[in-house]
Amino acid sequence: MAHEEIVERYSGLARAALSGERITDCGTAEFGEGRFGAAGYGDAAGLPEEALRASLGCGDPVAVAELRAGETVLDLGSGGGVDVLLSARRVGPEGRVYGLDASTEMLELARRNAGRAGAANVEFLHGVIEAVPLPDRTVDVIVSNCVVNLSDDKAAVLAEAFRVLRPGGRLGISDVVTDDGVDAVRRAAAEARVGCAAGTLAVGEYRGLLAAAGFTGVDITLTADHGDGVHSAIVRAAKPAIGPGLEIRPMRESDAAQVLEIYQAGLDTGQASFETTAPSWEDFTAGKLERLRYVAADVATGEVAGWVAASPVSSRCVYAGVVEHSVYVHPRHHSRGVGRALLTAFVSASEDAGIWTIQSGVFPENLSSLRLHEALGFRAVGVRERVGRHHGTWRDVVLLERRSPVVGR
Ligand SMILES: C[S@@+](CC[C@H](N)C(=O)[O-])C[C@H]1O[C@@H](n2cnc3c(N)ncnc32)[C@H](O)[C@@H]1O
């Protein structure tokens, strides 16, 4: 279904709700069994009956979003406004909740429901979730209920979510997903039968798009089984945290010159690696895993403050979850917590990607690196003695590793 048709469909449902009808966008069996709509909420007591009747969700994203007083929340595809009103209660008068929807009729319904609820800390915005009308890094938490599956550009939705979130911001959404490996014909039939989905993502696809957008700490929990491999799910993820004025995001081609300059500055200290000259960008990218490369960037200037990346340690399949990483910080940005933030994000992203062991060799003289790694759960396996010559001197290397407590337990 094209975007315009989807919006027209929901506008029609909003008109029906505005005239007092109970609405549903799913098969009535699914709705009746409480798998969609207001039945999915744990604590909606006190919300206007009109808002609950207009609920077209497939779960309770606000329940898992762990909202705190004073936070700014954005609800993608806010419909009749239930999740906006629930969020507004949690963030309190110091907080603010935006509801974004492409249907003007849905916005009218939501504004009417907010008026009935007496919610003063909410604002409804007209627009699409593929191009969010809010500035960069202005939102603490994104919630959404049964909407991402309706988008024909889900990569853009997640990229926009990442853009508007502040570093450390969280995503908590309820959506319809498919099991990995369900064939296309069965998937389409199941989606049509459930009636709510215009095109679900498989769980693995969802994880891939979240990682490509820059999210870490990804968790997808199936919450209701609609048969034939289709489920409701709660999808959680976070934008990596870092100190003020900085942002951690996936490394891009346009970062090449700055990444290699920082690499060379690290090598010039004589404490970073046996290498003495940074590789070409082609060699750098050929050796590093594509999904596990991040930069920390100054949000005002775009300047890259540091980077982290990893290479596989072996092509043997038994080592498929073992990588060797490097983390480099620009000399101008030392002592700002950049290395720690990059490494924290990297550890989380590597676990999302199914990596069970991260290893690295560090010169014993590089005490700050040893301390940082120890603080983030790395242990010294041992000291490899006189393992290589560096500027004519045989040097020892401390072999560090971090065995994930969550992957491959
Ligand atoms: C299934 S309803 C869910 C509404 C609400 N989240 C709830 O739980 O009741 C989908 C909502 O998303 C809106 N929508 C669909 N596609 C959209 C898009 N690309 N951008 C913004 N809103 C969209 C529709 O207008 C509708 O209000």
CATH number of the domain where residue 121 is located: 3.40.50.150
Residues with CB under 6 A from ligand 1: 3, 6-7, 10, 25, 55-57, 77-80, 82-83, 101-103, 106, 128-130, 145-147, 150-151
Query: So what's the pLDDT on residue 32?
Result: 58
Q: Whose CA is nearest to atom 8 of ligand 1?
A: 57
Centre of ligand 1 to C-alpha 145, Å, is 8
* Distance of alpha carbon 221 from the chain centroid: 14
For residue 161, report the distance from its CA to the centre of ligand 1, in Å. 15
3-class DSSP state of 108: helix
Number of domains within the chain: 2
Residue 188 has a pLDDT of 84
Q: Cα separation of 161 and 75, whole Å? A: 10
Tell which of 238, 254, 280 closes a domain.
Answer: 238
Could you state, in chain order, the average pLDDT of each consecutive group of 10 residues for the chain (409 residues)? Answer: 91 93 72 70 85 89 92 98 96 98 97 96 98 98 96 97 98 95 85 74 97 98 90 96 97 98 95 91 95 97 97 92 97 93 98 97 96 97 96 96 95
CA–CA gap between residue 222 and residue 176 (Å, rounded): 9
pLDDT of residue 367: 95
For residue 10, the ligand 1 atom closest to its alpha carbon is: 25
Q: Are 274 and 390 in contact (CB under 8 A)?
A: yes
Quick one: 136 and 163 in the same domain?
Answer: yes
Are 270 and 227 in the same domain? no
- Which CATH number does the domain housing residue 259 bear? 3.40.630.30
pLDDT of 321: 96
Question: Do 173 and 291 fall into the same domain?
Answer: no
How many whole angstroms from 232 Cα to the centroid of ligand 1?
16
At 34 the pLDDT is 65
Both 13 and 156 in a single domain? Answer: yes
Cα of 78 from ligand 1 centre, angstroms: 6
Q: Which domain holds residue 108?
A: 3-238
Residue 26: name the closest of 181, 250, 229, 190 by CA: 190
Instruction: Indicate if 162 and 207 belong to the same structural domain.
Output: yes
Residue at a domain's end among 178, 212, 238: 238
Distant-in-sequence, close-in-space partners of 326: CB < 8 Å, separation ≥ 6: 273, 308, 309, 310, 360
Whole-number Å distance between alpha carbons of 99 and 113: 12
Question: Is there a single domain that holds both residue 234 and residue 265?
Answer: no
CA separation for the pair 211, 216 (Å, rounded): 6
| From 1, 85, 147, mutation site for ligand 1 pocket: most ligand atoms within 8 A of C-beta | 147
Q: Which two tokens stand for residue 178?
A: 């498919």
Per-residue confidence (pLDDT) for residue 155, from 0 to 100: 97
Compute CA 406 distance to the chain's CA centroid, rounded to the nearest angstrom: 18
Same domain, 151 and 273: no
- Residue 333: predicted pLDDT: 92
Question: What is the atom index within ligand 1 of the atom nearest the CA of 25?
Answer: 1
